[in-house]
Amino acid sequence: MAQIATNLELARNELIAGNLIGFPTETVYGLAGNALSDAAVLKIFQTKNRPAFDPLIVHTHSIEEIRRYVLSIPDALAELIANFAPGPLTVLLLKNEQIPDIVTSGLDRVAFRIPNHPVALELLASLPFPLAAPSANPFGYVSPTTPQHVNQQLGDKINYILDGGACGVGLESTILGIEHNHLVIYRLGGVSVEDLQAYAGKEILVKDHSTSNPAAPGMLSSHYAPKKKLLPDYLLEHSEGNLEQVGYIGFDKIRADIPKKNQLLLSPSGDTNEAAKNLFATLRIIEEMSPSVFYVGIIPNVGLGRAINDRLTRAISPV
Ligand code: TXA
Ligand code: MG
């Protein structure tokens, strides 16, 4: 198992030695390594069992730092970064030669983000390189939102997990880029579409990349699959079976037709931000519960609810 602690010096030493660490951010925990080192980035792909075609997000602590590694930042994106960073927003920018091709899986654009987490920012500011960090889970599995989640799945492959507590946002960052002068969201995430549109003052296209050639391969339709069978709760309307053995994940209200002990709510107070924060931990908790099938309720499709529904849809078994 890896050591979980708050010592920044230990984290720095691991990274400078070319090793990977568990890295706290406000969205989910990352598996971080030196983004400028081919060897460290290769280790990230190997440790996660991640296909080489799925590029990594690079993390740094300021927009000035981002400028060192990209050809330019279009004004529209610079304004959004100025407003939403540090925060759960990732932008796609044309990379310069300092970013190794392995980071972007050979694509021209590199994904950059400034995490809004004091420990992450302090670490990044103290390092002579930015950090490449995908979510710290084996490929295709639920993202970790506590240091213990990282240890459960990758603890035998890394030495150190920097403890930043439980993630405040709980969903991965929103990925944004520009195509033909239009802002495009490639992954729904921790900044809501409404907030981005309100600030940009115009409609932003949300691309569904669950096709065979995704620009953000994390959008593959079977991503985030937990080991239990998840089904949409509308199927319950037609079910005449015995519901004693099934479970339910709801938004704010439990159901009368399923045993109370088999039900979990994402936000009893009906708050989509709270639901986002609880989502991935809930998908882990159900693995320890007795039902083998869980029905999933619809979350209001507003604010972070939209990104939650996106993740749940990908986690739900094909029906
Ligand atoms: O909140 C987050 O974004 C977390 C924390 C650790 O920062 N990271 C994260 O990384 O979710 P990961 O690797 O699990 O997801 C990154 C997504 C993938 O879907 C990947 O395909 C997409 O970003 N991506 C990265 N670079 C890209 C690029 N150059 N072009 C298109 N998509 C890219
Ligand atoms: Mg991921």
Determine the residue of 104, 135, 311 to mutate for testing ligand 1's pocket, defined as the one with the most ligand atoms within 8 A of the Cβ atom: 135
Q: If we measure between CA atoms, which residue out of 149, 25, 33, 146 comes closest to residue 90?
A: 25
Which of ligand 1's atoms lies nearest the C-alpha of 187? 19
Distances (CA, A) of 205 to 36, 84, 196, 208: 32, 18, 11, 10
Nearest listed ligand to the Cα of residue 143: 2
Q: What is the pLDDT of residues 261-285, one digit of tens each?
A: 999 999 999 999 999 999 999 999 9
Q: What is the pLDDT of residues 39-52, one digit of tens each?
A: 999 999 999 999 99
If you average pLDDT over residues 294-309, what whole number do you get?
A: 96
pTM over 0.75: yes
Nearest listed ligand to the Cα of residue 28: 1
How far is ligand 1, taken at its centre, from the CA of residue 234, in Å? Answer: 32
Instruction: Compute the mean pLDDT over every residue in the chain, rounded to the nearest whole number.
Output: 94
Q: What is the pLDDT of residues 232-255, one digit of tens each?
A: 999 998 877 899 999 999 999 999
Which of ligand 1's atoms lies nearest the C-alpha of 31? 6
Q: Is the CB of residue 57 less than 8 Å from the CB of residue 173?
A: yes
Nearest listed ligand to the Cα of residue 59: 1
Query: Which residues touch 13 (CB under 8 Å, ≥6 apart)?
Result: none
Instruction: State both tokens at 243.
Output: 């519901």
- Sequence length of the chain is 319
Q: Is the CB of residue 273 less than 8 Å from the CB of residue 192?
A: no
Distances (CA, A) of 127 to 11, 100, 304: 10, 18, 32
Q: Assess whether the C-beta atom of 216 lies below 6 angstroms from ligand 1.
A: yes
Determine the residue of 172, 219, 280, 304 to mutate for testing ligand 1's pocket, defined as the one with the most ligand atoms within 8 A of the Cβ atom: 172
Instruction: State both tokens at 67.
Output: 């400028």
Q: Is a pLDDT exceeding 60 seen at residue 112?
A: yes
Structure confidence at residue 4 as a pLDDT band (50, 70, 90) = very high
Q: What is the pLDDT of residues 120-148, one digit of tens each?
A: 999 999 999 999 999 999 998 999 999 99
Q: What is the pLDDT of residue 241?
A: 83
Instruction: State both tokens at 314.
Output: 């990908």
Determine the residue of 84, 90, 208 to mutate for testing ligand 1's pocket, defined as the one with the most ligand atoms within 8 A of the Cβ atom: 90
Q: Assess whether the C-beta atom of 109 lies below 6 angstroms from ligand 1.
A: yes
Instruction: State both tokens at 33.
Output: 């390594």
Q: What is the pLDDT of residue 213?
A: 41
Q: What is the pLDDT of residues 163-213, one digit of tens each?
A: 999 999 999 999 999 999 999 999 999 999 999 999 999 999 999 654 334
Q: If we measure between CA atoms, which residue out of 285, 259, 288, 264 comes closest to residue 275?
A: 264
Report the half-sphere exposure of 237 (CA within 13 A, side-chain side). Answer: 4
Q: What is the pLDDT of residues 96-107, one digit of tens each?
A: 999 999 999 999
CA distance 185 to 159: 35
How far is ligand 1, taken at its centre, from the CA of residue 173, in Å? Answer: 8
